[in-house]
A = this chain, B = another copy of it.
Amino acid sequence: MEKFYNPDRAEWPRILNRPQQDFKEIREIVDTVFREVKEGGDQAVLKYTDKFDGVQLQQMRIYAGETTGAGDQLSEALKDAIRQAKRNIEKFHRAQQTEPIHVETQPGVNCWQEKRAIQKVGLYVPGGTAPLFSTVLMLGIPARIAGCSEIVLCTPPRKDGTIHPAILYTAQLCGIEAIYKVGGIQAIAAMTWGTESIPGVYKIFGPGNQFVTLAKQKATQYGVAIDMPAGPSELLVLADETANPDFIAADLLSQAEHGPDSQVILVTTSRDLQDAVENSLYTQLNSLPRQAIAQKAVGNSRSIYVADEKQAMDLVNEYAPEHLIISAKAEDYYLKHLINAGSVFVGPYTPESAGDYASGTNHTLPTHGFTRQYSGVNLDSFLKSITFQRISETGIQEIGNTIETMAAAEGLWAHKNAVSIRLKALEEAIVPQKEDTKE
């Protein structure tokens, strides 16, 4: 952990610099897999599942029989925990539902906005070192609340060709039936093109390694939307002398264990806290099972003392962290002036892992500075807005000249004429003067 003491602002960009991702080497692999899956469908997907996951599958779709027994393989404590998390996540995402917005902008000119679910969505749940059933909750719950009619879940098979029962149990709990044993680039390509057995979708969600990230970026070139671009996970802790250094160190390590490329940053207005966190961090690190991973991530990390709260806030907004913990007496000031962050954890008893699993907020968040312009996954991620308008006879007479004048000034005469022909008809009373006041 590299330490900085009141660095000059000119130094900030260098200090806050994220490890750059170089996709050059893997771009060719992604291109190849996309091309082959487009042409070869299931056969190409199976080939790459064999090649990358080392598993030879006969079929990729999970059938009902495989999921029904999944719950029996889990402890009651784990099932209780998953159900509790589901209730909280549901509550928070259900509260994000919005009513249609109606405005009569001029007499007889009624405009409104309504949301509709994206019909076909793909959820990607990574495999790798941990069975991320929590991601099933984070993507599956809002997709169901939104009312997406076709929800496809892809997750890589384990070496024995199965899916971890916690993932199957959670998917079943969320009402997701279309589960496929396929991961990596070939999963994203399959959901982009559609194959004989895996449906193509309109939008793909979910985290993943750099192969998945690049594959999702490629999918957008073929008209498939994605939730957000992604990079390695990251946490910034903003703390002062009132913070508990052991808690802060534990939070930093919880982020660091995600992967060797994770980045953790402490920004503090207290030199004492800076030292205390460092000591606690190395002590706690020694007792972690994933010590090797966390140690590498800690190597990428920074501890920065700044002289005042204004500088601390500016530094946070410049870094634009995925996760932000605030444990400081000036929390009101920080909450007011915060601009860029994905998910924020306020107060000493709010560890990031609460939001990763169970408090109710979503854990699928923009990283790598993308909180400057992207939201984390939320209910709206599964919806799109449509605008509507109804103009009455009175309405078109009110607004008609405005439209005609503007259309003429833009040289779009047929646009003007679509209004003129209606105004003329009303003037000449060629059309029957029926009331048109519905809205």
Please tell me if A211 contacts chain B, counting CB pairs below 8 Å. no
Q: Which of A198-229 contact B (CB under 8 A)?
A: 202-203, 217, 220-221, 223-225, 229
In the complex, the answer to whether A390 meets B254 with C-beta atoms within 8 Å is: no
- Complex Cα–Cα for A108 and B362 (A): 18
- Contact (A386, B338) CB under 8 Å given A254-B417, A391-B359, A413-B290: yes
* Cβ contacts under 8 Å, A251 to chain B: 418
Instruction: Determine which residue in A221, A250, A341 has the highest number of CB atoms from chain B within 10 A of its CB, and name it.
Output: A250
In the complex, the count of this chain's copies comes to 2
Please tell me if A346 contacts chain B, counting CB pairs below 8 Å. yes
- Complex Cα–Cα for A220 and B399 (A): 38
- Contact (A357, B390) CB under 8 Å given A88-B105, A96-B101, A396-B349: no
Residue of B nearest to A395 (CB): B349
Please tell me if A132 contacts chain B, counting CB pairs below 8 Å. yes
- Contact (A290, B250) CB under 8 Å given A105-B88, A375-B385: no
Per-residue interface assignment for chain A, residues 345 to 380, with 1 indicating a CB less than 8 Å from any chain B CB and 0 otherwise? 111111111111111111000001111111110101
Q: Which of B349, B389, B406 contacts A391 (CB 8 A)?
A: B349
Per-residue interface assignment for chain A, residues 398 to 434, with 1 indicating a CB less than 8 Å from any chain B CB and 0 otherwise? 0101110111011111111111011001000001000
Distance of A390 from chain B, by nearest CB (Å): 4
* Cβ contacts under 8 Å, A373 to chain B: 118, 202-203, 224-225, 384
Distance of A162 from chain B, by nearest CB (Å): 16
The interface of chain A, by Cβ under 8 A from chain B, is 74, 77-78, 80-82, 84-85, 87-88, 91-92, 95-96, 98, 101-103, 105-106, 109, 111, 113, 116-120, 129-134, 166, 202-203, 217, 220-221, 223-225, 229, 244, 246-247, 250-251, 253-254, 256-258, 284, 288-290, 294, 335, 338-362, 368-376, 378, 380, 384-393, 395-396, 399, 401-403, 405-407, 409-419, 421-422, 425, 431, 436, 438
Can you name 24 A-B pairs with beta carbons within 8 Å?
Answer: A74-B409, A81-B406, A92-B111, A95-B103, A105-B359, A109-B354, A131-B409, A133-B406, A202-B373, A203-B373, A223-B369, A247-B422, A247-B425, A294-B414, A343-B387, A344-B386, A346-B388, A351-B391, A351-B403, A354-B403, A356-B415, A361-B389, A362-B387, A378-B385
